Structure 1
Amino acid sequence: MSTSQSSSGAERTDGASVRIGALVPLSRPGWVEAGQHLLAGLDLAVRDVNDNGGVLGRPLELIVRDTAADPQKAAAAVDELARLGVVALAGEYHSVVARAVAARADALGLPFLCSSAVLDALTEQPTDWVARLAPAQSHGWQIYADFLLSAGHRRIAVATQPSIYWASGARILRDYLAPRGGTILELDMRTLAPEAVCDELVDHRATALLLLVGHPEPAVSIVRSVRRDQRLAEILIGAPAGQPEFVEWATLLGDDGVSIPFLRYLPERLSSLGVRVEASLRERLTEAPSFVAFEGYDTITVLTDVLRSHGVNRVGSTEPWSHVVVEGTRGKIQFSRTPGISVWQWTWPPVQVVDRDPDEPDRFRILHAS
């Protein structure tokens, strides 16, 4: 099991620190850039907490494990972190991995605050041990569907790969669009080459193609093929899962990667805390922080509040989330029980549909917000 030692300090064995286990994808096939941003936010928040006296006089310590987008590896990491005495778990970006973490945390009675994964059903049954900062997929993707409808798109194709996350996304879109006159055509990327996708789009007269596939491949190859097909000059390419958020996307695709709307979870204006955190994250990452970095920071903000309220030993209450009211980088954070969602949920983080500006690719344009 690989360990990434955060700058908040080495792993201590004297019992003086309050330990939080952090689960992030830091190696392939995980989305490494997302993991790095998530960890940067987590680690910065731990530093800020410790600079302000820690938690009830004890320093906070982050013990990091790389999940590599592997559910089994992540579940094993939860067991290891529990043996090391962590009082809570934080993080994860990939929904299928967060689902494995949530199941194991629930079985162990170990609080887990999921930072970034959006799959509605993080656990099979309702649990009081797990909470989530990111909006549920059904909430965010319905907002994305509203954006598509408002832009006049009714014939929508989705390029898909086998995954509970992608299947859930396709179902949410179909169920929301169908009563409103929209149709969904699924293109199975197990059997279609990127060039064949173009023919399918033309044959079915689709006006939008959504990338419900992995990054960088096959997403990058699909975008390149569609951009180079003159028959599809007017088609909208969309990526609700957020592939264009990170620098790697712009580096790989250049001008082909602009004007591809995606979901991100930021307000139009950050709070005063958010402005300060943004500056620190930019310095730490040497690039603009993504919304995932802010999710990391807010995760530690919430867990610090829980620990100060419930004590620095492992939280014994089965409802540590119900009393949380904290100011995060993106607004006031509170959790509630939401129908159809099995965990405690922040309802709701800000949701935007944005794209990279074709005139200034490093700048994001807000196209739709809720």
Structure 2
Amino acid sequence: MSTLPSLPDTTQADGSSVRIGALVPLSRPGWVEAGEHLAAGLALGVREVNEAGGIGGQPLELMLRDTAADPRRAVAAVDELAGLGAAAVAGEYHSVVARAAAGRADAIGLPFLCSSSVLDALTEQPTKWVARLPPPQSRGWRVYADFLLGGGHDRIAVATQPSVYWASGTRILRNHLAARGGTVSEIDVSALAPETVCEELVRSGATALLLLVGHPEPAVPIVRAVRGDRRLAGLLIGAPAGQPEFAEWATLPNGDGAGIPFLRYLPERLTALGARVGAALRAELAVEPSFVAYEGYDTVAVLAEALRHGGADRARTAAAWSRVAVDGTRGRIEFSRVPDSNVWQWAGAPIQVVDRDPAQPDRFRVLHTG
């Protein structure tokens, strides 16, 4: 497990700085490793902006807040950060938390850049205050469904728990697969032992199981149970939400963390900036940086550009979403209004389906792009 990176000292002697807030999960039940990677990317981005002269000569000050994956904590943090003079707020990793934060930012008129969450309905109504870097769930999960179909999997089981995010993902998969003759059956694992999940899978006749559940519990116990059941030897295990992205999956016994396809928001090749940033993040985290770390860095690049347009005026900063054009670690970032979205969206966000190589679990294989 990596450690939280040290944040740059960005406060001038006279106390003047341009403050940005950041919401990240740094304690359980949040996905702590994801939070650490997001925080590392944010911190590196702030440090480099300040080394280049800051915003109009003023340094960026990063105010980090731990959400612990709790939407109520995120809403409270948005209010706190607004009261502390934040010019904008960014984050989060968990989609339901990002949705709560985005809704509150919209309500109080605070620019919010969604760094790493994909839930389509990020806000209830169209808003000028919110922009998003990652692709919406409907786009990414349709790419994943195409990958399944291309591999001959049209009878899919999903192990799921009650959640807006998981329900949305199940609906996207079911609709996309049904239009092509596929089926999706749900197994609510909330009150089921992993061994009982195996029995349900045998009865379903599914050729693929998708983990739409929390991490590490119950995701890891389910993987171990399925991999240990000879009746399910040919079953593909998938995790579109990206659980196997993080280093701890490479250390699961018997290679259980490998061969599980997931969505990753990286291009075939990083930009020259991305390669340089990747090296810096690798040194900071002491592990291979995930796509979430790159999202953190790109978040600061976007916010810095928007703040150069808007300065301390929050409305002017929000109005700059349509004018932002920056070179990020994963390509040129510009925002537009895309169909069925209430927020400003980077339409060119890259999508891959990858897994960990069973022969070398610390190496990723790109299986499909979209």
Measure, in 1, the Cα distance between the counterparts of 2:91 and 2:276.
21
Paired residue secondary structure (2:323): coil
Q: Which residue of 1 aligns with 2:144?
A: 144
- 2:109–2:314 CA contact under 8 A, matched in 1: no
Q: How many residues align?
A: 367
Q: Which residue of 1 aligns with 2:295?
A: 295
- 1:20–1:87 CA contact under 8 A, matched in 2: yes
Amino acid corresponding to residue 201 of structure 2 in structure 1: L
Q: TM-score scaled by structure 2?
A: 0.96
In terms of mean alpha carbon deviation, does 168-177 or 314-323 score higher?
314-323
1:312-338 CA deviation, whole Å, 9 max, x = no partner? Answer: 443436522111111100001011111
Percent sequence identity over aligned pairs:
69
Paired residue secondary structure (2:366): strand
Q: Aligned-pair distance for 1:14?
A: 4.6
Correspondence list, 1:86-97, <5 A: 86-97=86-97
Q: Name stretches of at least 5 consecutive residues in structure 1 with no aligned partner.
A: none
Amino acid corresponding to residue 149 of structure 2 in structure 1: L
- 2:311–2:317 CA contact under 8 A, matched in 1: no
1:199-242 CA deviation, whole Å, 9 max, x = no partner? Answer: 11111211000000000010001000000000111110000000
Amino acid corresponding to residue 48 of structure 1 in structure 2: E
Q: 1:122 to 1:208 in 2, by over 3 A?
A: same
Q: TM-score scaled by structure 1?
A: 0.96
- 1:6–1:62 CA contact under 8 A, matched in 2: no
- The answer to whether residue 361 in structure 2 is matched with residue 361 in structure 1 is yes
Correspondence list, 1:323-334, <5 A: 323-334=323-334
Q: Which residue of 2 aligns with 1:347?
A: 347
Q: Aligned-pair distance for 1:15?
A: 4.3
- The answer to whether residue 282 in structure 2 is matched with residue 282 in structure 1 is yes
Measure, in 2, the Cα distance between the counterparts of 1:103 and 1:167.
20
Paired residue secondary structure (2:353): strand
Q: Which residue of 2 aligns with 1:308?
A: 308
Measure, in 2, the Cα distance between the counterparts of 1:217 and 1:127.
35
In terms of mean alpha carbon deviation, does 22-31 or 338-347 score higher?
338-347
Measure, in 2, the Cα distance between the counterparts of 1:256 and 1:206.
20
Correspondence list, 1:238-253, <5 A: 238-253=238-253
Q: 1:198 to 1:13 in 2, by over 3 A?
A: farther
Q: Name stretches of at least 5 consecutive residues in structure 2 with no aligned partner.
A: none
1:73-92 CA deviation, whole Å, 9 max, x = no partner? Answer: 11001111011001000111
Q: Which residue of 2 aligns with 1:83?
A: 83
- 1:208–1:236 CA contact under 8 A, matched in 2: yes
Amino acid corresponding to residue 276 of structure 2 in structure 1: R
In terms of mean alpha carbon deviation, does 278-287 or 336-345 score higher?
336-345
Paired residue secondary structure (2:256): helix
Measure, in 2, the Cα distance between the counterparts of 1:174 and 1:339.
21
Q: Aligned-pair distance for 1:152?
A: 0.3
1:23-69 CA deviation, whole Å, 9 max, x = no partner? Answer: 10000000000000000000000000011111111111100000000
Paired residue secondary structure (1:322): helix
Amino acid corresponding to residue 136 of structure 1 in structure 2: P
Measure, in 2, the Cα distance between the counterparts of 1:314 and 1:342.
19
Q: Aligned-pair distance for 1:191?
A: 3.1
Paired residue secondary structure (1:364): strand
Measure, in 2, the Cα distance between the counterparts of 1:326 and 1:305.
7
- 2:335–2:347 CA contact under 8 A, matched in 1: yes
RMSD: 1.5
Q: 1:317 to 1:286 in 2, by over 3 A?
A: closer
- 2:71–2:96 CA contact under 8 A, matched in 1: yes
Amino acid corresponding to residue 155 of structure 1 in structure 2: R
Measure, in 1, the Cα distance between the counterparts of 2:221 and 2:249.
12
Q: Aligned-pair distance for 1:12?
A: 7.0
Measure, in 1, the Cα distance between the counterparts of 2:255 and 2:193.
22
- 2:10–2:60 CA contact under 8 A, matched in 1: no
Correspondence list, 1:34-73, <5 A: 34-73=34-73
- 2:90–2:113 CA contact under 8 A, matched in 1: yes
